[in-house]
Amino acid sequence: MNVLTVPNWSFGRDRDLLMRFEEVLATPNDEGETLTVHYLQGDIDHNRTVSAFSGPMDLVFSRLEWLCEEAFPRIDLTRHVGVHPRIGALDVCPMVLIPGPGPAVSLPELNERIERWASSIARRFDLPIYLYEKSERGRHEADLPSLRRGGFGALLERELDPDLGPPRAHERLGVTVMGARDFLIAMNVNLATEDLDVARRIARTIRERRAEGDPDFLGIRALGFYLRSQACTQVSLNLTLPDLTAPDSVIEWIELEAGKRGATVARTELIGVIRDLDLPRATRLKIDPRQIVPMSPHVSSSDLA
């Protein structure tokens, strides 16, 4: 059993740091084990880097700590500018159990390791850490949306109640949210229009339809952004229930809604990873083979290359 992690970092314009991340993730441990790097991309408009890598649990946590050591001295959220909301230098760090060689890892074992690692990082960097999803302790499920809604600036003025670390946000690094969770699909649909209202209206309609319980929009989170570097707008999406909501159907709906407002879909992109079993319903996404995580017992990584 392997561990997959998809850390989201609040930098997207520091090319030297991105290259350093590449070096760290390619470095084997003393036993010669290496990680599988599924995704590592920075975005200048979001000013955000998404990484996704998997491997033996010890190696995953070791390299994650190394990345923190590289990134934290270079990230200062007081000077950070980007369209994506953020509350931390290591903004969110999900962990997912996936098939792989080596000894089995249970969810309780993963959670124990998450808490041990997070406790060490919280002490070392004086960083508040919130546990979420399958790692949360029953206290923050309702609190985290409000925590994120205020953004980093609002955190500096608040007394916090994190699971680990101090009750005040770090002055440069903010707070970190991490924990074990199920798979989700993160994707962007870029629209060939500079009218931000188009993307925002589409995203708002998706959120409203989800809140109403529309079965076509179950588990979809959506935001609208303007991408200055590309002179276009974007509907950014998380499909948290990919077994119920397919990427293709969401993209097709967005295409129709954009057309009603005189816009077209310029391109789509998958952010992070996707399960092999999601591929038949994700034909509208451009997918690199490295982004595919084999979950079917009869499928191996080499089959997908």
pLDDT tens-digit map of 95-151 = 999 998 878 899 999 999 999 999 999 999 999 999 999 998 876 555 666 777 778
Q: Buried (b) or exposed (e) across 87-122, using 16+ Cβ within 10 A?
A: bbbbbbbbbbbbebeeeebeeeebbebbbebbeebb
pLDDT value, residue 74: 97
pLDDT more than 90, % of the chain: 86
What structural domains and CATH numbers belong to the chain?
Answer: 2-180 (3.30.990.10), 185-294 (3.30.70.670)
Which strands make up the sheet holding 220-227, listed edge to edge?
220-227, 232-239, 185-191, 265-271
Q: What stretches in the chain show pLDDT beneath 70?
A: 139-145, 296-305
pLDDT value, residue 300: 41
